Amino acid sequence: MPSATPWSGDELERFVNDGVLIRRGLINGPLLTRAASLIDGWLRDTYDAQRLTAYTNRSFAPELEDHPDLLALYGDSGVAELVRQLLHPAAVAPVPRAQIQIRLPDGAEQPVKTMHVDGVSCPHLEPSDLRTFTLIVGVVLSGSATADAGALHYLPGGHRRMATYFAKDWALGQAAQAPPDVDAQDGTPFTAEPGDVIVMHHLVPHRVGTNTSPQPRAMAYFRVSHADHNRLALQALADPWLEYPALATAARREVL
């Protein structure tokens, strides 16, 4: 099983500040090829255009969410080690499934996602449903490495603003997913090649742009939780480092 070079001190500091880390070319070879081919085959042979909105809101290829070739992107690539380093010494819950997101080429009437934090006031959930987690890992499977090719857009440092919002201006069941000043942001596009990996704090607001390129952009996402997340979920919305014991001290230093 491949191992990944641990995050450096500078990278950990960047995660505290930005809530985002990127590893270029972390996944390659058969691990990437098998997963990309699996999703490419599903898009070619199984995709149902009438379910486009449901796919976009939840996951493409839902019947493959626990396929070994997708789970290997997280468990057999070194990614799981990098995640454990961020949450250390807290335990990490098992990751039993992948979420697949595909931005189809220009011309597809695909819903546009505005700035949001996952699992909070999602349009396809009941208002009282809270389906949050600790961080998300995204792996690029295919597509063009340009900002206008359906890239993920994220707001560096936005986890701080969102924590304040959840602490002071939000209540469970509230429809708004983000405050107006966050919703108005375009964000930084994750311009990436297949095999690049992004690790993002759950509270970093993000959206997905339209794809004006001629080819689909496919990503596999893994929602990762602190082992005790169910108990900590509401409190963690207002305390961004509650589930990151080793980083909490550094985060407090940044505030002082």
186/209 Cα distance (integer angstroms): 9
What is the model's pTM? 0.94
Q: What is the mean pLDDT of each run of 10 residues along the chain (256 residues)?
A: 86 97 97 98 96 94 98 98 97 98 85 87 63 97 92 97 95 83 95 97 94 94 97 95 91 58
| Residues 240, 107: Cα–Cα separation, whole Å | 39
Question: Are the CB atoms for 48 and 113 separated by under 8 Å?
Answer: no
Residue ranges of the domains in the chain? 10-255
CA separation for the pair 77, 55 (Å, rounded): 26
In this prediction, residue 120 carries a pLDDT of 87
Q: In what order do the strands lie in the sheet with 152-154?
A: 113-116, 206-208, 152-154, 188-189
pLDDT score recorded for residue 107: 62
Task: Compute the distance between CA of residue 237 and CA of residue 167 in angstroms, rounded to an integer.
Answer: 7
Query: At 61, is the secondary structure helix, strand, or coil?
Result: coil
216 phi/psi in degrees, rounded to 5 = -65, 150
Superfamily of segment(s) 10-255: q2cbj1_9rhob like domain (2.60.120.620)
Q: What pLDDT is attached to residue 1?
A: 58
Tell me, what's the pLDDT at 128? 60
pLDDT in the model for residue 125:
57
- Residue 142 has a CB neighbour count (10 Å cut-off) of 19
pLDDT of residue 176: 77
Question: What is the predicted pLDDT for the residue at 174?
Answer: 79
Per-residue pLDDT, 256: 33
